[in-house]
Amino acid sequence: MVRLNEIRPGETAIEAPPATDAGLVFIGRIHTPWADRLHCPRQGRQDGPTCRIEVFEPWVAALDGITEFERIEVLYWLHQSRRDLVRQSPKNDGIARGAFSLRTPVRPNPIGTQLVTLVHRDGADLLVRGLDCLDGTPLIDLKPDRCLFTPLAPRQPGDDQVGDAA
């Protein structure tokens, strides 16, 4: 996450259409120990520092039941990232590869996803471990880790569908 605004040798910037196909609302804010991108971890670790996810009203009621899950998937908006580099050089060595084969914050839609360990719920706040984002990062969504979640709703025909599509 060192990149500020440069384009490095070998990288490719594109001119993209305006990002107006869908709109996001920030539903909370993430508090971490990392105030700038030069100090953020490259990847979160489950024994990393406790961070605080603050959920705003009117979405606090959506937390009901979340403490049943030890691991939560967090989606957040990488608000300091440029969005136009389709090929990037993480080592700044002239060798570039596609953004979709990297977990770089520089993406056409800069959304970070992380699995975190839920330590504690304190009202509208969740204390978690495993994050790697900047202090103040906007929150987009929280979901139970798919590995821990069994759908409650009735099954549908697609649930039993295997093999190739007709």
Q: What is the footprint of its own copies within residues 16-35 (CB under 8 A)? A: 16-27, 32-34
Residue 137 · residue 75 · CB < 8 Å: no
123 binds its own copies, rule: CB under 8 A = no
All residues at 6 or more sequence positions from 107 whose CB lies less than 8 Å from its CB, including other chains = 78, 81, 83, 99
Using a 10 angstrom Cβ sphere, with 0-12 exposed, 13-18 middle and 19 or more buried, the burial of residue 93 is exposed
One character per residue 42-81, x = contact with its own copies (rule: CB under 8 A): xx-x-xxxxx---x--xx-xxxxxx-xx--xx-x-x-x--
Among 70, 94, 100, 136, binds its own copies (CB under 8 A): 100
CA-closest candidate to residue 71, choices 148, 162, 161, 153: 148
Among 30, 81, 132, 137, binds its own copies (CB under 8 A): 132
149 binds its own copies, rule: CB under 8 A = yes
Beta bridge partners of 124: none
Q: Closest distance between its own copies and the C-beta of residue 59, in Å?
A: 6
* Beta carbon nearer to its own copies, 18 or 123: 18
